[in-house]
């Protein structure tokens, strides 16, 4: 009860967002509320029955921060942004660790380009998406470019026309074959095409064609006519799913073993144009999952339809509708009870979600094994394919700033969430074998303590027999059964336990895979070594400053960000740092300028 009172005593009754933190100050959950005090108090009420996962979360709360907002809609948007930023452990999460692609339209350029990207920059460009089906998006861009002849060259226009102009894929603004105004019309049209506003686009093109004809600009009229025919050809291939030309999104879902699959069918002007699918970790009830998904999904989108049809209504439906209305500048409804064609579409989306989820779970249980993995299993005579491989490396110069690294590859591809750094603690001087033993021991400890859910199928050590034997005996002493090999750089030979050596041709897929994972672990270790070394150099240069302790030196570095920026600062800049007066600033400035 004392803990509860200390956590919630200062929380106000306003709308806002609350951030729950553990003993290390890490955010483990972000939530929103129309009444912060009432919502946070509910977690500690004796009358409230909490799910086991939430009970575990509450037991770990050591501090609760809050941000007051003007409205519940502001709280909704802020919550979504904070979840994306901090990725808290107990919030609903997207399972895919990849970035979904967007279609980028570079409206900030004189003659904009249209292409696929996974990086968003606030530079005046328009981003459409995100999309989950990369192939379908590429086909859409390709078709759009064929119809509207949008350039695909670099940011800077070339000095002469390219092949695309001669094969009818570009209108060649580089040599003045099209005016800036006409090119901009084509860009506006391809945006309409991508957004599925194809009936509207058809009417617009017909009007343009007639306008050019009236002005006796028959060549331009013919170009628009060709685009109109091409557009109608695409239109005819699309399936009509609704009798009325309306814009709606259908969200189907399926859930199993705390994994949820959500399918979004985008219907524009009565025709199904896209289907996106997402996988989420969902330990909460469906209303909360649906609320989180809708907020995340439509936050990124430029176009929001008039209706969103769901099989399970989200929590805070009215607040979501108000927020969507603000974004869309028109009324948006979230509907559950639908009939006829809409109900049929919802059932189809649910069916698709079920199929995708079953496929995902099957792949997780029995992942398709790549050829290089199969080859490696045969060469090393392993009992099962080494789907999860971890590679280890040591980096130091004459024993100084010694570090280790481990990188994780799953089915031949890097999984960066499984990368780990190790600062060598127990070994002094030059002893790579002892350092490798320490790193392996610390890695295995995480597996034994179940900090990591899955253990590796194979360990790959960078080095020769010494490092291999150190790793082998460390594994054996823990009682774990994990195969281990080493790869020596000199002749790229694979060392096995028992003084056995395997030599493979340089172009063997299995050897290429091992070299790739070994080189990645080396890169990761070097990166960490350089980081520690540079940090040490910064501190050591400031060590000559008398009467300034280590904490104040760190504060100085944190404020300016780098030693270079401290050197570039004047006396007044240094004096602005908390705890540094004018007198101290003069001493620091003189010292650094004498050193340089």
3-state per-residue secondary structure call for 245-297: CCCEEEEEEEEECCEEEEEEEEEECCEEEEEEEEEEECCCCHHHHHHHHHHHH
> What is the residue whose two structure tokens read 């009509």?
240
The tally of domains found in the chain comes to 5
- Strands 458-462 and 102-105 come out as unpaired
The parent domain of residue 447 ranges over: 371-533
- Cα torsion 160, 161, 162, 164 to 10°: value is 160
Please report whether residue 573 resides in a domain: yes
Q: What percent of the chain has a predicted confidence (pLDDT) above 70? A: 88
Among 25, 57, 91, the domain boundary falls at 91
| pLDDT class of 456 with cuts at 50, 70, 90 | very high
The torsion angles phi and psi of 62, rounded to 5 degrees, stand at -115, -15
Helix (H) or strand (E) holding 212: helix 198-214
Please report whether residue 208 resides in a domain: no
Same structural domain, 272 and 175: no
Look at residue 96 and tell me whether its pLDDT is greater than 70. no
Token pair belonging to 527: 């990166």
Same structural domain, 397 and 518: yes
C-alpha pair distances (Å), 14 with each of 3, 11, 27, 69, 82 = 22, 9, 21, 8, 18
Among 438, 442, 436, 423, smallest CA distance to 463 is for 436
CATH of the domain at 560: 1.10.150.20
Same structural domain, 571 and 528: no
What is the tens place of the pLDDT at every residue in 397-426? Answer: 665 668 888 999 988 889 988 898 888 888
- Long-range contacts (CB closer than 8 Å, 24 or more residues apart) made by 105-111: 105/187, 105/190, 105/191, 106/155, 107/187, 109/155, 110/180, 111/151, 111/157, 111/173, 111/180, 111/183
- Strands 458-462 and 484-488 come out as parallel
Please report whether residue 493 resides in a domain: yes
253 touches 309 (CB < 8 A)? no
C-alpha radius of gyration, the chain, whole number: 30
Look at residue 333 and tell me whether its pLDDT is greater than 90. yes
- The rounded distance, in Å, linking the Cα atoms of 404 and 466 is 16
Residues in the chain: 596
Computed over every residue of the chain, the mean pLDDT equals: 82
Among 533, 552, 571, the domain boundary falls at 533
Please report whether residue 204 resides in a domain: no
What is the tens place of the pLDDT at every residue in 525-557? Answer: 888 767 765 655 555 566 666 667 777 777 777
128 touches 193 (CB < 8 A)? no
Token pair belonging to 593: 């300028």
- The rounded distance, in Å, linking the Cα atoms of 50 and 47 is 10
Among 348, 364, 380, the domain boundary falls at 364
Same structural domain, 172 and 49: no
The torsion angles phi and psi of 95, rounded to 5 degrees, stand at -70, -35
Mean pLDDT across 111-137: 82
Same structural domain, 84 and 111: no
Same structural domain, 439 and 568: no
The model's pTM: 0.53
Same structural domain, 311 and 170: no
pLDDT for res 218: 75
Same structural domain, 52 and 121: no
CATH of the domain at 359: 3.30.420.10
Token pair belonging to 480: 């774990």
Same structural domain, 385 and 473: yes
CATH of the domain at 387: 3.30.420.340
Q: How many CA atoms lie within 13 A of 471 on its CB side?
A: 32
Same structural domain, 349 and 403: no
Q: What percent of the chain has a predicted confidence (pLDDT) above 90? A: 14
pLDDT for res 555: 79
Same structural domain, 488 and 529: yes
Token pair belonging to 181: 């105004």
Same structural domain, 162 and 85: no
């Amino acid at each position: 009860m004392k803990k509860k009172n200390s956590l919630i005593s200062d929380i106000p009754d306003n709308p806002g967002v609350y951030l729950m933190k553990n003993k290390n100050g890490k955010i483990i959950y972000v939530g929103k509320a129309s009444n912060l005090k009432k919502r946070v108090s509910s977690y500690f009420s004796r009358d409230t029955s909490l799910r086991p996962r939430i009970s575990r979360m509450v037991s770990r709360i050591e501090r609760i921060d809050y941000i007051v907002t003007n409205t519940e809609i502001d709280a909704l948007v802020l919550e979504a942004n904070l979840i994306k930023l901090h990725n808290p452990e107990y919030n609903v999460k997207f399972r895919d660790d990849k970035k979904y692609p967007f279609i980028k339209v570079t409206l900030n350029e004189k003659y904009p380009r249209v292409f696929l990207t996974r990086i968003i920059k606030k530079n005046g460009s328009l981003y459409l998406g995100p999309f989950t089906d990369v192939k379908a998006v590429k086909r859409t861009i390709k078709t759009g470019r064929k119809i509207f002849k949008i350039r695909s060259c670099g940011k800077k226009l070339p000095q002469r026309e390219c092949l695309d102009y001669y094969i009818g894929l570009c209108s060649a603004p580089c040599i003045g074959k099209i005016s800036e105004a006409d090119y901009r019309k084509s860009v506006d049209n391809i945006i309409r095409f991508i957004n599925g506003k194809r009936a509207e686009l058809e009417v617009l093109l017909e009007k343009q064609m007639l306008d050019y004809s009236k002005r006796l600009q028959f060549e331009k009229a013919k170009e628009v006519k060709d685009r109109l025919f091409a557009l109608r050809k695409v239109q005819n291939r699309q399936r009509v799913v609704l009798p009325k030309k309306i814009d709606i999104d259908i969200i189907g879902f399926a859930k199993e073993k705390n994994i949820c699959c959500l399918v979004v069918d985008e219907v524009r002007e009565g025709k199904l144009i896209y289907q996106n699918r997402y996988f989420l970790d969902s330990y909460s009830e469906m209303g909360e999952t649906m609320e989180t998904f809708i907020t995340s999904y439509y936050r990124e989108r430029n176009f929001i339809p008039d209706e969103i049809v769901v099989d399970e209504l989200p929590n805070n439906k009215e607040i979501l509708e108000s927020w969507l209305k603000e974004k869309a500048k028109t009324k948006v409804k979230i509907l559950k009870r639908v009939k006829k064609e809409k109900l049929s579409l919802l059932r189809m989306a649910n069916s698709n979600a079920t199929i995708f989820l079953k496929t995902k779970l099957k792949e997780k249980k029995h992942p398709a094994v790549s050829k290089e993995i199969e080859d490696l299993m045969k060469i090393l005579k392993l009992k099962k394919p080494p789907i999860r491989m971890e590679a280890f490396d040591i980096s130091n110069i004459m024993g100084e700033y010694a570090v280790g690294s481990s990188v994780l590859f799953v089915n031949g591809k890097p999984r960066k969430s499984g990368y780990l750094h190790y600062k060598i603690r127990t070994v002094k001087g030059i002893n790579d074998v002892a350092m490798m033993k320490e790193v392996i021991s610390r890695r295995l400890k995480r597996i034994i303590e179940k900090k990591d859910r899955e253990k590796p199928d194979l360990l790959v050590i960078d080095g020769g027999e010494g490092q291999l034997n150190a790793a082998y005996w460390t594994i054996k002493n823990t009682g774990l059964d994990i195969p281990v090999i080493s790869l020596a750089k000199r002749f790229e030979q694979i060392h096995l336990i028992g003084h056995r050596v395997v030599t493979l041709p340089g172009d063997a897929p299995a050897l290429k895979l091992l070299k790739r994972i070994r080189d990645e672990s080396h890169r990761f270790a070097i990166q960490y070594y350089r980081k520690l070394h540079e940090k040490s150099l910064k501190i050591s240069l400031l060590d000559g400053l008398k009467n300034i302790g280590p904490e104040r030196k760190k504060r100085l570095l944190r404020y300016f960000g780098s030693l270079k920026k401290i050197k570039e600062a004047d006396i007044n800049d240094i004096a602005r740092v908390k705890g540094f007066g004018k007198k101290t600033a003069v001493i620091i400035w003189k010292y650094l300028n004498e050193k340089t």
